[in-house]
Structure 1
Amino acid sequence: MIKEACVESYLEAKLAQKKGANRIELCSDLANDGLTPDFEDMKKACSGLDIPVMVMTRPRAGNFVHSSEEVEQMKIAIDQAKEAGADGVVFGLLTAENKIDEANTRLLAEYAHPLPVTFHKAIDEMDDPVEGVRVLKTIPNIKRILSSGGKATAREGQQVIRKMIAETDGKIIILVAGKVTAENVNEMQQITGTTELHGRKIVADLTLSEKI
């Protein structure tokens, strides 16, 4: 099982590693579901940790319908992630109809190479996340999809998550999120059938734990 901790600072990342995280998703502004982190935080985390660091690439809060100008901002963030030494990037783009924005997703996935891409929980805005998997598995360099099965929690979305995993044909990892905590991570792994899980509190409540 891979436990990916979602954090918004270098200190939280260090603590998550100490508590047993296997991988970090580094963001800013988690109150708005995560935005692109500061370049200095990217560099600190990528140089100061012994586990992989995935960097969020999201230019603003709100929906996931991104303009051409915002796509250019995402390219800059990808350049920064590469320069910082990140192990991958995280982004998600939809159309106004809540379908996968295939054109821009392909463009950014190719631009990010050789860094692997996680398509984030934008997929949960779709009427049918399984359809999203069907599209994303055809796009080179999309290695993971972060999802709670279109529901608020992984527990509620477990049946859809299992359908998503089946749809991948082994080409993409479904990274399960949605109120996954240190207390329930083993159960969430069992009921969804995934090998990788993600959460703000997946190894500890970092907002309440001691700082290091």
Structure 2
Amino acid sequence: MIIKEVAVENFTQIPEAIANGATRIELNDNLAVGGTTVSRGVLEEAAKYLGEKQVPLVAMIRPRAGNFVYNDLELKIMEHDLFTAQQLGVDAVTFGALTSGGELDEEAMELLIAASGGMQVVLHMAFDMIKPELQRASLDWLVEHEVTRVLTHGGALDQPIERTIPHLREIIEWAGSAIEVLPGGGINYQNYQQLLEQLPVKQLHGTKLVPLANVKTDWR
């Protein structure tokens, strides 16, 4: 079975997404800027609802829009949000921390991974902002630190996913069975079958993987 992970904004889109075939939910606020962390109240109600539906919930942990270079205060906020997600029974969390030089911020990632105990950890599309020559080593680091999967477009988001398929295949080959690769960015309910024919994966991510009303973003 193909896992359709649908990125939704706030709680309001969740019932419609599930009714239309979503099999995993990534919960965000502010999807127009790539997603930020929702409030505790939204997260709590989403966890309850999806728990009843037996649909896994992935919570975005991102304190602001912009880059993924975080200072100590921002990391403290993210750590607190991770503890909250853990308390509410969230299945998985997605985050990413980079250095200003385009490397994985291993110290920050170790802090955030440690705060995620009991939940699956996903590195989101911050992966695509790591220098290309460092991506394979970064993937190895994530495997060593028991990260469950990587969400990736396979290149810059201003490129259609059809052009990034060669690099996506390369990432999938690097990963093998050690870590899951979750393609995303520009995948929708009209083109996902075609992509499945070209990529050896059983899960996809997007805001439009199932039909939804009033989706405000085109790139996820």
User: What is the TM-score normalised by the length of structure 2?
Assistant: 0.90
Partner of 2:72: 68
Q: Secondary structure of 2:163's partner?
A: coil
Q: Which range is displaced more, 75-84 or 16-25? A: 75-84
Partner of 2:22: 21
Shift of 1:3: 0.4
Q: Which runs of 5+ in 2 are unaligned?
A: 216-220
Contact 1:25/1:53 (<8 A) preserved: yes
Distance (whole Å) between structure 2 residues aligned to residue 130 and residue 196 of structure 1: 21
Is 1:109 aligned to 2:113, yes or no? yes
Is 1:57 aligned to 2:61, yes or no? yes
Q: Which range is displaced more, 27-36 or 120-129? A: 120-129
1:137-175 alpha-carbon deviations (Å, 9 max, x no partner): 2222x1010000023233221111111111113111111
| Percent sequence identity over aligned pairs | 30
Q: Which range is displaced more, 80-89 or 13-22? A: 80-89
Distance (whole Å) between structure 1 residues aligned to residue 163 and residue 144 of structure 2: 27
Shift of 1:191: 1.5
Shift of 1:84: 2.1
Is 1:126 aligned to 2:130, yes or no? yes
Is 1:148 aligned to 2:153, yes or no? yes
Q: Secondary structure of 2:161's partner?
A: coil
Q: How does 1:1-212 map to 2 (within 5 A)?
A: 1-49=2-50, 50=53, 51-128=55-132, 129-140=135-146, 142-152=147-157, 153-207=160-214
Contact 1:98/1:126 (<8 A) preserved: yes
Contact 1:6/1:200 (<8 A) preserved: yes
Aligned length: 207
Shift of 1:178: 1.2
Q: Secondary structure of 1:76's partner?
A: helix
Distance (whole Å) between structure 2 residues aligned to residue 106 and residue 192 of structure 1: 30
Shift of 1:131: 4.0
Structure 1 stretches of 4+ with a deviation exceeding 6 A read none
Shift of 1:39: 0.9
Q: Secondary structure of 1:136's partner?
A: helix
Q: Secondary structure of 1:123's partner?
A: helix
Distance (whole Å) between structure 2 residues aligned to residue 22 and residue 136 of structure 1: 25
Q: Which range is displaced more, 6-15 or 186-195? A: 186-195
- What residue identity is the alignment partner of 1:132? S
Distance (whole Å) between structure 1 residues aligned to residue 127 and residue 214 of structure 2: 27
1:23-63 alpha-carbon deviations (Å, 9 max, x no partner): 00000001110000111111111101211111000011110
Q: Secondary structure of 1:149's partner?
A: coil
- What residue identity is the alignment partner of 1:25? E
Distance (whole Å) between structure 2 residues aligned to residue 192 and residue 144 of structure 1: 16
Tell me the C-alpha RMSD between the 2 structures. 1.3
Contact 1:36/1:57 (<8 A) preserved: yes
Contact 1:130/1:163 (<8 A) preserved: no
